[in-house]
Amino acid sequence: MDVRSRVSRFSAGAVLAILMVFRAGAAPPDPKHWPAEFANEFFHLDIKVAADGTSIAVQEVCDKILSEQAALPTDASFQYEPAYEQLEIIEAYTRERDGTKIPVTSTLIQTESGNVSSGRFSEAKTVQIQFPQVEVGGAVCSRTRKTEIKTRFPGQFAFEKSLEDRRQWQDFRVSISVPDSLPLQAESQGGDLTEFDTPGQHHWSWAYASPNSWIEPAEPTDVLGFLYLPHILFSSMDNYSQLASIYRGTIASKMQPTAASQRLADELTVGISDPKAQARVLYNWVRSNVRYVQLYLGDGGLIPHDVDTILNTRFGDCKDHAVVLGALLAAKHIASTPVLIGADREYVLPATVQPFVFNHLITYLPDMDLYLDSTVRDARFDVLPSEDAGRSVVHVNDGAVRITPATTAARDRVGTLTTLHVAADGSASGITRLVASGSDSINLRAKFENMNAAQRGEFVRDLLFARDLIGEGSFQIDTAVPADEYAVTVTFRVDNLLNSEDDGAMFLAPLLSGPRRLTDVADAGQRLTVKRFPYGCSPSTVDDRYEIKLPSALQISLPRAVNVEAKDLSYHSEYRRDGDTITVERKFVATPENRICTPADYQTFRTISGIVLRDLHKQIAYRQPPMRPKAFALPRKPVAAKG
């Protein structure tokens, strides 16, 4: 069991260093079939906030064990940032069925310091509690105190808790006390929110109970699902402009050109006078030369490094990228502003200001109305990654709340063209060309750009082997394409595409597939029967085309075409024959008006995806020409000689 609370006390993580717990993208099971593992007997969190925004939080939790699976080695983990807070385990114990308490000894409490892995450096500490002698019907309980010794935003406080866990909540309560000098904004859904005053203090209490029902977890691709689940939000900030102003104080001075950054900007733009062309060169240098790593060391979770430090080390996190790119742009008198953005499920911002929804920082060029994300090494200039598209963002320089440009079906598309020439013996030679444009080109470029010749040859052999085909081929990157496209071509020859002796069927699937496939469309609508919450969706086009030259002697049976449209979705397939050439086209187009779709939209998509799934299973049936019986003569019986 993981007794984790999403208490957003500006702990180090990404842009604003927020510790967030999000569920994996796998589809949740049907609620009717969830195992009853835990029931939360009580969760009490009492937070006392000081006038400077620091706080002391005492948390008491007791979870009852309902299944043998839950009674397996059971632990609780608590994370904290030593530079900003202290954590104390006041009490931890296992309670047996008869009420007997078994204290957790010090040997069962371990602290893990720091987190250093590939591309990630953190000073966060994790305290792990291992509960002894856990049994069904018993409970595991703990009481902790977290004391904040330093705020990341002086004089400010924010808190968020949502109930996503798959458990019953019998007695959940959050109590917050603040001085009158630090008024809070509050927002809740479900439960009972009350408030009262005492001399010099204002008190809030939010209570929630669901003793006979389960809180269902967030769904894949949902839009910050906590907004639709029982939750409580508090914030001392009145609006997002105030948040931008606070953050601006930590980053604005860092973006001023230094002698080193001025010299570099001048060298990179020699002979280039057009501001947009200069911006392109500077952006390309940063994304190619400043390695992206996640840095959560000390104040590094919030405050970027100096420009010269970044230029010397040639690595940094998203804040460092925004700083060094901003300084280089400023050196050429090109205006820019850092942009706070949530690059996971944060399509919308809650009305109560919450810094935790921002986990990334990108750059905006106001004179060009252009967003850039230099942390994505394979993103070309003016091609915004899909994770950054259609998101509510906050511009740091002026506090404006904007929405980044959404993807479009016309620009963000993946297409394949496969040409095949099939011989009478069942062998075939062919070419598959894959083209991705817009944000889809980023993922395709990242996949193939660094392959050497040997890896490309092995890659093609693996593709053929995965389809039970015997043959060989070559792989080539097409460089003669627009900047927002990426194209690759596979040329191949196989010995066993068709059975030359018997009748059969040809299954159609491109040898080379991109970051977005028709099979993905088919699968995405079948994962869940229903959706409960709004979810993220995006415009896109996916199309596969085949031109197949078959032996003239084969008798061919083609599937029926499909044409279906519903709201902002369409799917079209066509199967036709012209002489010995078979042409097949399959195309899916999604053109939602925005990045947020509704549960009703999902039902429409589910219907379309089912049609796509069935059409993808269609095959081209073929019959071999009738074989003439071979003529042969019976041997003559020898005639005995007359004597």
Q: Is 175 helix (H, G, I), strand (E, B) or coil?
A: strand
Residue 4 has pLDDT above 50, yes or no: no
Per-residue CA distances from 495 to 275, 469, 492, 500, 548 (Å): 55, 7, 10, 11, 16
Same domain, 478 and 596: yes
Same domain, 357 and 504: no
Tell me, what DSSP letter sits at residue 222? B
For residue 459, being part of any structural domain is answered with yes
Q: What is the DSSP string of 242-287?
A: HHHHHHHHHHGGGGS--HHHHHHHHHHTTT---HHHHHHHHHHHHH
The pLDDT assigned to 24 comes to 26
CATH of the domain at 254: 3.10.620.30
CATH of the domain at 169: 2.60.40.3140
- The pLDDT tens digits of the residues spanning 595-610 come to 889 999 999 999 999 9
Same domain, 353 and 315: yes
Position 290 confidence tier, pLDDT thresholds 50, 70, 90: very high
Same domain, 164 and 54: yes
Same domain, 364 and 450: no
Cα–Cα distance for residue pair 471/492, rounded to 1 Å: 7
Cα–Cα distance for residue pair 78/21, rounded to 1 Å: 12
For residue 13, being part of any structural domain is answered with no
For residue 52, being part of any structural domain is answered with yes
* Structure tokens that stand for 419 in this block: 């040409």
Same domain, 287 and 211: no
Same domain, 52 and 166: yes
Same domain, 162 and 50: yes
Burial of 357 (0-12, 13-18, 19+ CB in 10 A): buried
145 vs 593, residue with greater confidence: 145
Asked whether 71 and 140 are in contact (CB, 8 A), the reply is no
Cα–Cα distance for residue pair 357/243, rounded to 1 Å: 12
Phi, psi of 612 (to 5 degrees): -60, -45
Structural domain of residue 318, as residue ranges? Answer: 243-403
pLDDT mean over 409-429: 94
Determine the angle formed by the axes of helices 259-268 and 318-331, rounding to 10 degrees. Answer: 70
For residue 59, being part of any structural domain is answered with yes
* Structure tokens that stand for 168 in this block: 């019953």
The pLDDT assigned to 562 comes to 97
Question: 386: Cβ–Cβ under 8 A, 6 or more apart, which residues?
Answer: 407, 412, 439, 440, 442, 538
Poorest-pLDDT segment among 229-243, 496-510, 529-543, 626-640: 626-640
Position 394 confidence tier, pLDDT thresholds 50, 70, 90: very high
Residue from 327, 582, 292, 579 nearest 430 by CA: 582
Residue ending a domain, among 376, 403, 430, is 403
Residue 1 has pLDDT above 50, yes or no: no
Cα–Cα distance for residue pair 82/87, rounded to 1 Å: 9
**Residue whose tokens read 């397996």:** 72
Position 23 confidence tier, pLDDT thresholds 50, 70, 90: very low
For residue 14, being part of any structural domain is answered with no
pLDDT mean over 550-565: 94
For residue 223, being part of any structural domain is answered with no
The pLDDT assigned to 3 comes to 28
Poorest-pLDDT segment among 114-128, 429-443, 626-640: 626-640
The pLDDT assigned to 423 comes to 94
The pLDDT assigned to 167 comes to 67
pLDDT mean over 84-94: 95
Same domain, 184 and 282: no
- The letter for the amino acid at 276 is K
Residue 330 has pLDDT above 50, yes or no: yes
pLDDT mean over 20-28: 28
pLDDT mean over 228-255: 92
For residue 58, being part of any structural domain is answered with yes
For residue 69, being part of any structural domain is answered with yes
The pLDDT assigned to 89 comes to 96
Same domain, 213 and 247: no
Residue 153 has pLDDT above 90, yes or no: no
Give the rounded distance of the alpha carbon of 110 from its chain centre: 31
The pLDDT assigned to 71 comes to 61
What domain count does the chain have?
3
Same domain, 399 and 432: no
Position 164 confidence tier, pLDDT thresholds 50, 70, 90: low
Q: What percentage of the chain reaches a pLDDT higher than 90?
A: 61
Residue from 478, 505, 498 nearest 489 by CA: 478
Chain-wide mean pLDDT for the chain? 86
Same domain, 373 and 433: no
The pLDDT assigned to 38 comes to 75
305 vs 10, residue with greater confidence: 305
CATH of the domain at 430: 2.60.120.1130
46 vs 639, residue with greater confidence: 46
pLDDT mean over 219-225: 69
